[in-house]
Amino acid sequence: MSKPELSVLAALALELSPGAEPGRLALAVDAAGELTGLVARDLARLVPDAAVLDLAMVAGLFDPAELLRPGYPVHAELGRLAARAPGAGGGRIIGFGAGQEGLPAGLAPAPEFAGGPLKLLPLVLRGEVSAVAPVGDQLEQVLLDTGMASADTALFAQEAFGAAVEHARLLTINDLAAMMALQFEHAGIAALWPLVEAALLAPDGEQWLDAPPEPLARYANGGVRMAMLDMDAWAEGGFAPADTDAARLGRAFEHFQMRQRQFAGLLEAHGIPVTYDHCPAGRDPRQVLAE
pTM (2 d.p.):
0.93
Cβ atoms < 10 Å from Cβ of 148: 15
The count of structural domains within the chain is: 2
Q: Are residues 86 and 200 in the same domain?
A: no
Q: Are residues 150 and 205 in the same domain?
A: no
> What is the pLDDT at residue 155?
97
> What is the pLDDT at residue 243?
66
Please give the residue range of the domain that contains residue 230. 190-290
* Band (242; pLDDT cuts 50, 70, 90): confident
Strand partners, 96: 58
Distance in Å from the first CA to the final CA of the chain? 47
Closest CA to 154 of 137, 133, 170: 170
Q: Are residues 92 and 164 in the same domain?
A: yes
Q: Are 168 and 149 in contact (CB under 8 A)?
A: yes
Q: Are residues 177 and 197 in the same domain?
A: no
Q: Are residues 23 and 107 in the same domain?
A: yes
Closest CA to 232 of 287, 267, 177, 281: 281
Q: Are residues 151 and 18 in the same domain?
A: yes
SS (H, E, C) the chain: CCCCEEEEEEEEEEEECCCCCCCCCECEHHHHHHHHHHHHHHHHHHCHHHHHCEEEEECECECHHHHCCCCCHHHHHHHHHHHHCCCCCCCCEEEECEECCECCCCCCCCHHHCCCCEEEEEEEEEEEHHHHHHHHHHHHHHHHHHCECCHHHHHHHHHHHCCCEEEEEEEEHHHHHHHHHHHHHHCCCHHHHHHHHHHHHCCCCCEEECCCCCCCEEEECCEEEEEECCHHHHHHCCCCCCCCCHHHHHHHHHHHHHHHHHHHHHHHHCCCCEEEEECCCCCCHHHHHHC
Q: Are residues 10 and 126 in the same domain?
A: yes
* Band (6; pLDDT cuts 50, 70, 90): confident
Q: Are residues 164 and 74 in the same domain?
A: yes
Q: CA dihedral in degrees (47, 48, 50, 52; nearest 10)?
A: -170
Q: Which of 155, 186, 217 is a domain's end point?
A: 186
Q: Which of 152, 186, 220 is a domain's end point?
A: 186
Q: Are residues 169 and 279 in the same domain?
A: no
In the predicted model, what is the mean pLDDT of residues 20-30? 93
Residue 43 has pLDDT above 60, yes or no: yes
Chain-centroid distance, C-alpha 284:
34
The rounded mean pLDDT for the chain is: 93
Residue 1 has pLDDT above 70, yes or no: no
Q: Which of 186, 221, 238 is a domain's end point?
A: 186
Q: Are residues 59 and 98 in the same domain?
A: yes
User: Residue 243: which CATH number?
Assistant: 3.30.750
- Vertex 147 angle, CA 119 and 190, to 5°: 55
> What is the pLDDT at residue 238?
83
Q: Are 224 and 273 in contact (CB under 8 A)?
A: yes
Q: Are residues 171 and 229 in the same domain?
A: no
Q: Are residues 61 and 91 in the same domain?
A: yes
Distance CA 46, CA 276 (A): 47
> What is the pLDDT at residue 244?
66
